[in-house]
Amino acid sequence: MPAGRCGAAPVGYRGHVDLDVVEECPYRFRLERHGAMRVPGTVFASRDLLRDAGQSLRQVANVATLPGIVGASYAMPDIHWGYGFPIGGVAATDVAAGGVVSPGGVGFDISCGVRLLAADCDREALRPVLGAVMDDLGRAVPRGAGPGGVWRLDGTGELERVLRGGSRYAVERGYGVERDLLRCEDGGVVADADVDQVGPRARERGLGQVGSLGSGNHFLEVQAVTEVYDAHAAEAYGIAAGQVCVMIHCGSRGLGHQICSDHVRAMDRAMARYGIEVPDRQLACAPVDSPEGRAYAGAMAAAANYARANRQLLSDAARRVLRRRAGVRLDLVYDVSHNLAKAETYRVDGEPRRLCVHRKGATRAFPPGHPDLPGDLRDAGQPVLVPGTMSTASYVLAGVPGGDALHSACHGAGRVMSRHQAARTVTGAALRARLEDAGIAVRPLSMRGLAEEAPEAYKDVSAVVAASEGAGLCRRVARLEPLGVVKG
DNA sequence: ATGTTC
């Protein structure tokens, strides 16, 4: 979208970052091209959220120096500091023009993402058994640091079937139904996984964690729909006011982490050979069309399938509990990643180009009519699932037509406080008491972990969503609030 | 995020 369309004269804005930031129009700021930047930066945010972005704007500018980058180095309203790339960053490179792929543009938790399931009951019907349901979910959901998962694999042969098959393999083994796959990004499985690029340490770590939540901001929540903004889209997605839902947020555990580490090291060593210089070693990268680039892409796809199998297995665990304890059925609304690089085709200067689109802490948001959407979602657009915090709302959004941010939207509230700072601010016991007083049942594995994820450690997710909608990245469909939380 | 510092 050209700046002139906004109608307002650019307003000079100076935050505490030494960058030229220009407000192009409400919810859209430009980082002027300087030095080695090949493209400008584009940050979608309110003025308040831009202030919260702080030094991570420097990372937006750093990403703009990557070989082959097209359009701009983009940032979503929930931008915050990350490894090399900011979390909330979106960047696309032109594969045929020497464009690079960078593990830092995906993140350590490869294919971390969110899945939403809709129950065939409303919150009042569930209330009498909520405590028992939460107790059972607490027992059924492996979580926390280290090993433990729904599946215990015999050996690397079965791990390779997970790495190649993703959610589809879990469904083939009886952990879900065929319809689930229609409601997963990519049908639940990325085709180009190369298991030979998954190293021995990654395999070792992955073997014992298939079907586990992990820790940090990952969770499984029982939620209720508290508001519907778009009745047409909500109907297409299968959600309605008052309805119970289950939201799952998790990723590829130690396997994805190890793959990221291994391939960052390999690219760091290879960059000089390709004549690539970057302003930050954490931006280690290699041409997509190179041995190192292909190796990472193949390993990343394998980790993406691992994360998807993970979410499929935890969905099955939740379904068993809800059916047994409450006689409730769960239908999959959607499953989408917010940490991934994907090959997508866009018009650049009028010509269709194959791009490598990095989304790190940013959600793909395909508009209505996109050919990759299943038929029953094509009119409404792709569901975009945005988790908030354990005592605030989560949102279901929809992709919208237009916009130039590579069909991307926000992914969450975004941290404002470090884990350490959060744990100093509140004790786990006090937080748990506060949540229980508010009617939210909590099943934490660790009180320290609970405190680190205190709601006050995050930005206001409603402000993030309002800025995302205001910037034309997506539109609101429904708001959900937590009834019960399972945490690592 | 992460066998939470190879």
Domain CATH for A397: 3.90.1860.10
> 């280290």: which residue's tokens?
A146
Q: Is residue A422 part of a domain?
A: no
Cβ–Cβ under 8 Å, residues A286 and A101: yes
pLDDT attached to residue A18 = 64
User: Quick check: is A411 catalytic?
Assistant: yes
Q: Is residue A469 part of a domain?
A: yes
Q: From the CA of A1 to the C1' of B4: give the distance in Å.
A: 42
Query: Which residue is the nearest neighbor of B3, CA to C1'?
Result: A146
pLDDT attached to residue A200 = 96
Per annotation, catalytic residue among A16, A34, A411, A420 = A411
Q: Is the CB of A146 under 7 A from strand B?
A: yes
- Predicted TM-score (pTM) above 0.75: yes
Q: Is the CB of A214 under 7 A from strand B?
A: yes
Q: From the CA of A9 to the C1' of B1: give the distance in Å.
A: 41
Q: Is the CB of A80 under 7 A from strand B?
A: no
Q: Is residue A4 part of a domain?
A: no
Give the separation between CA A28 and CA A306, rounded to whole angstroms: 36
Nearest to A379 by CA among A400, A362, A397: A400
The verdict on whether residue A257 carries a ligand-binding annotation is no
Q: Is the CB of A311 under 7 A from strand B?
A: no
Give the separation between CA A469 and CA A27, rounded to whole angstroms: 9
Closest nt by CA–C1' to A452: B4
Q: Is the CB of A209 under 7 A from strand B?
A: yes
DSSP state of A66: S
In a 3-state reduction of DSSP, which class is residue A324? helix
Q: Is residue A423 part of a domain?
A: no
Q: Is residue A450 part of a domain?
A: no
pLDDT attached to residue A2 = 37
Q: Which nucleotides of B are covered by protein (CB under 7 A)?
A: 1-4
Q: Is residue A81 part of a domain?
A: yes
The verdict on whether residue A62 carries a ligand-binding annotation is no
Query: Which residue is the nearest neighbor of B4, CA to C1'?
Result: A145
- Residue-level pLDDT, tens digit, chain A, 488 residues: 333 345 443 444 444 446 899 999 999 999 999 999 999 999 999 999 999 999 999 999 999 999 999 999 999 999 999 999 999 999 999 999 999 999 999 999 999 999 999 999 999 999 999 999 999 999 999 999 999 999 999 888 999 999 999 999 999 999 999 999 999 999 999 999 999 999 999 999 999 999 999 999 999 999 999 999 999 999 999 999 999 999 999 999 999 999 999 999 999 999 999 999 999 999 999 999 999 999 999 999 999 999 999 999 999 999 999 999 999 999 999 999 999 999 999 999 999 999 999 999 999 999 999 999 999 999 999 999 999 999 999 999 999 998 789 999 999 998 889 999 999 999 999 999 999 999 999 999 999 999 999 999 999 999 999 999 999 999 999 999 999 999 99
Q: From the CA of A419 to the C1' of B4: give the distance in Å.
A: 10
Give the separation between CA A295 and CA A84, rounded to whole angstroms: 20
In a 3-state reduction of DSSP, which class is residue A429? helix
Closest nt by CA–C1' to A261: B2
Q: Is the CB of A143 under 7 A from strand B?
A: no
Q: From the CA of A447 to the C1' of B4: give the distance in Å.
A: 15
**Residue range of the domain that includes A81:** 11-416+458-487
pLDDT attached to residue A8 = 40
Question: Alpha carbon of A447 to those of A214, A215, A428: distances in Å?
Answer: 15, 12, 4
- A89-128 residues near strand B (Cβ < 7 Å): 108-109, 112
The verdict on whether residue A310 carries a ligand-binding annotation is no
DSSP state of A85: S
Q: Which amino acid is at A487?
A: K
| Total of domains in chain A | 1
Q: Is residue A151 part of a domain?
A: yes
- Biggest alpha carbon–alpha carbon distance for chain A: 64
Q: Residue A20 is encoded by which pair of tokens?
A: 């030229």
Q: Is residue A441 part of a domain?
A: no
Q: From the CA of A382 to the C1' of B6: give the distance in Å.
A: 42
Q: Which residues pair with A70 in a beta bridge?
A: A92
Closest nt by CA–C1' to A217: B1
